[in-house]
Amino acid sequence: MRILITGGAGFLGSHLADRLIEKGNEVIVVDNFFTGSKRNVEHLIGNPRFELIRHDVTFPLFIEVDAIYNLASPASPVHYQRDPVQTIKTNVIGAVNMLGLAKRLKVPIFQASTSEVYGDPEVHPQPESYWGRVNTIGPRACYDEGKRAAETLFFDYQRQHGVKIRVARIFNTYGPRMAADDGRVVSNFIVQALRGEDITIYGDGSQTRSFCYVDDLVAGFMKMMESDKPLLGPINLGNPGEFTMLELAQQVIEITGSKSQLKFMPLPQDDPKQRQPDITKAKAELGWEPKVDLRKGLEKTINYFSTVV
């Protein structure tokens, strides 16, 4: 198959490109490099089944493909708050453009949605049926509401035009090729530990997250696209193992052998206190669940960062 990945030079997109090419597909990566990096896909340049196009998805793209993975969007607060207007445009206008392409070509399209659609949840763990608790005018809204609007568009295109859609709600994911400056907790802790700096913990460290290793997540993406169902999603993809920020920091310090100390800072506005996926639906509909435990995944991620920090 000839497969388009928007945002394909990013952390998740580059790993997806690797897996799809390994399976014998042709992959076209589209990225404007707002947060993606050529370094993430440089090992694929020269491969006859790989093509890289610099393009912003807020503008129409005319291309012939057999399937579309729409991953274009900054995904960490540091990056999506740097240009909030561009963030919401990428998520909404980009979705319109990619759905239009899928409609014209009559091909399936995958949407990388997010657990951020649940906001700071009152339900724990979060099932797909939960509508969320999002501040529509807060500093995170450009991303949260952009992704929520994109989901609306996907389901409207499915109902109105019969577009074959897949919508995955992605929970915290980590692994090699994360940007060192993306401000997300795993990369922050690892980089600070490797540099011997204080590890910054916001709040008292009791807030929780669930961390999914990138290989597990990409396997979930591909299972969704390989399904013959006309409509699939939204489906939570993430690891239900729940850890506090203090537990994560302690594991990182132990694995790196760092002498870093913990430094506590005020909790950012609208930062969720809990985040854990209910993956009952993923197990039932996809036969998918994560396999890599946190310690093993952290060891692989730390090995990567030790070569780039």
HSE value, Cβ hemisphere, 13 Å, CA-based, for 258: 23
Picking from 57, 34, 31, the residue whose alpha carbon sits closest to that of residue 42 is: 31
Does residue 266 have a cis peptide bond before it, meaning omega lies within 30 degrees of 0? Answer: no
Tell me if residue 80 is catalytic: no
At residue 163, what is the residue type? Answer: V
| Letter string b/e over residues 144-178, b meaning 16 or more CB atoms within 10 A of that residue's CB | bbbbbbbbebbbebbeeeebbbbbbbbbbbbbbbb
Strands of 2-6's sheet in order across: 50-54, 26-31, 2-6, 67-70, 109-114, 165-170, 231-237
Sequence-ordered strand ranges (E) for the chain? 2-6, 26-31, 50-54, 67-70, 109-114, 165-170, 173-174, 199-202, 208-210, 212-213, 231-237, 242-244, 262-265
| Letter string b/e over residues 107-132, b meaning 16 or more CB atoms within 10 A of that residue's CB | bbbbbbbbbbbbbbbeeebbebebeb
DSSP classification of residue 62: -
Picking from 8, 4, 15, 36, the residue whose alpha carbon sits closest to that of residue 173 is: 15
Which candidate in 118, 143, 157, 174 is catalytic?
Answer: 143
Encoding tokens for residue 241? 């193992």
Encoding tokens for residue 90? 């990428």
At residue 266, what is the residue type? Answer: P
**Which are the catalytic amino acids?**
143
